[in-house]
Amino acid sequence: MYEALQQLDPIRINFSASGMHFINIVLGFIMFGVALSIKPKQFIEIFKEPKPYLVGLFGHIFALPFMTFLLVIALNNFITPTIAMGMFLVAACPGGHISNFMTSYAKGNTELSVGLSASTTILATFTTPFNFALWGGLYMHFVSNKAGHLLQSLEIDNLQMFETVFLLLGIPLILGILFAKYFPRITEKLKKPIQYISIVFFILLVVLAFSNNLDLFLKHIFYVFFIVLLHNLLAFLTGFSLASIFKVSNRNRRTITIEMGIQNSGLGLVLLFNTKIFPHDMALGGMLFITAWWGIWHIISGLSIATYWSGKPLKIN
């Protein structure tokens, strides 16, 4: 398995300036669409019963990256350093916007879902660079004797990552919230179409990522699929376990579970495409394939869980 995954490592990502601008616009549009569903009064409702919100926020910002670190260490003999760093990048991303739809479908707390997605997205300006640097750095130290020469090329400019995340998330979110406030009627008409268009745009991002390496991905899909399956399952279980430990309601437990398993891996892809963060001469194949496949798989797994729960009555607890 390790030898097979090594074949992914030499892959490099090259985009022209115009291609990079297009990708940034796509993610900005997606985040603008997310912001259209954010309303300040939703946070007021959440703070009336803050425990589920705090549990979900803690899980996203700390528990998931920490559990990812434990999983990476457990799989250390089977995965390459770039695969591991891809897992850390995904875990450091904020919640994905499709979690709100999945939560509603699963009879969860939609207001809590929107609040958690919005909060992790807003905080991602700080938490994404921090978590990637923290857990990635600890991992580099752990395996320095195993792949020190490769890990040297994975050192990135965290200040540049902070700036990029702010520009890609912060500005579209602010514009979206303001647009929703001052143009509520238009917003209601735009929300659904933008959600569908956003999914199409994300698929387009994945296609761009795989366009030059599709044969290699298909050759090693079994290994990538298995790793993402484990990681995604760990995310759902972490959310469910935390919610159970802190004894939140069944409705909120469903919400926190889904929120933990749905990550905005589109942001991870855009960060990988940015040569100011990850220079074009870096070997990023493992990170690319893990991040891109996560974005596809979490839609399948999230909808599967939501479909199961949609047929289950909520228990009063």
pLDDT tens, N- to C-terminus, the chain (317 residues): 555 555 556 555 555 555 566 667 776 777 777 777 666 666 677 777 889 999 999 999 999 999 999 999 999 888 888 889 899 999 999 887 778 788 888 988 888 888 888 888 888 888 888 898 889 888 888 876 555 445 444 555 666 667 777 777 778 878 888 888 888 888 888 877 877 777 777 677 667 666 665 666 666 677 788 999 999 999 999 999 999 999 999 999 999 999 999 998 878 877 887 777 776 656 677 788 888 888 888 888 999 999 999 888 877 65
CATH number, position 224: 1.20.1530.20
Query: Residue 278: left if φ>0, alpha if ψ -120 to 50, beta else—which one?
Result: beta
Asked if residue 63 is part of any domain, the answer here is yes
Q: Are the CB atoms for 259 and 239 separated by under 8 Å? A: yes
pLDDT of residue 152: 46
For 79, the token pair is: 């995965």
- What's the chain's length in residues? 317
Give 263's strand partners.
95
- Angle, CA of 18, 24 and 28, to the nearest 5°: 145
The reported pTM is 0.82
**Separation between Cα atoms, residue 99 and residue 55, nearest integer Å:** 17
pLDDT of residue 149: 47
Asked if residue 1 is part of any domain, the answer here is no
Q: What single DSSP character describes residue 95? A: B
Asked if residue 5 is part of any domain, the answer here is no
Query: Which domain does 124 fall in, by range?
Result: 16-310
Q: How large is the C-alpha radius of gyration of the chain?
A: 19
Asked if residue 11 is part of any domain, the answer here is no
pLDDT of residue 54: 95
For 207, the token pair is: 């296609």
Asked if residue 2 is part of any domain, the answer here is no
Task: Give the total number of structural domains in the chain.
Answer: 1
Q: Are the CB atoms for 38 and 173 separated by under 8 Å? A: yes
**Separation between Cα atoms, residue 69 and residue 260, nearest integer Å:** 15
Asked if residue 159 is part of any domain, the answer here is yes
Asked if residue 297 is part of any domain, the answer here is yes
For 22, the token pair is: 């297009």
Asked if residue 6 is part of any domain, the answer here is no
